[in-house]
Amino acid sequence: MATEYNLWKIFPRMPKKVTIGDITIRDGFQHEEKTISTAAKIFYGQEMILAGCKELEATNLGNPAGIPQFRDAEQVMTALRSDGFKKRCERAGINLDKDVCLTAVTIREPAVDWAIEMRKKGIGPDRILMMVSTDPEHHFANSGTTLTQYWKEAERCIKKARDAGMKMVGTVSTIWGSPISGATKLEDAVEFTKRWFQIGAYDIEHADHDGSASADQCYRYFSMILDAMPQPEAHLCHLHETKRIAAASILAALQAGICRFEGTLGGLGGQPANFLDDCPIRGTGEYYYRDHRFVGLITLEDLLVQIDEMGIEHGYNLDRVLWLGNKMEKTVGRRLRSEAIYNGRTAKAGNPQFGRPGLAKLVAKVGEKPGQRVPPDWSEKAIVPELWGPAAWKK
Residue spans per domain, the chain: 9-343
**pLDDT (tens digit per residue) in 91-128:** 999 999 999 999 999 999 999 999 999 999 999 999 99
Q: Which helix (H) or strand (E) holds 21?
A: strand 19-22
pLDDT at residue 244 in the model: 87
The Cα–Cα gap between 170 and 187 comes to 17
CATH architecture of 9-343: Alpha-Beta Barrel (3.20)
% the chain with pLDDT above 70: 100
**Three-state secondary-structure class, residue 251:** helix
Check if the beta carbon of residue 73 is closer than 8 Å to that of residue 124.
no
CB neighbours of residue 327 within 10 Å: 14
Q: How far is CA 355 from the centre of its chain?
A: 37
pLDDT reported for residue 154 = 98
Residues 25-53 pLDDT 10s: 999 999 999 999 999 999 999 999 999 99
Mean pLDDT of 247-272: 96
Helix (H, G, I), strand (E, B) or coil at 286: coil
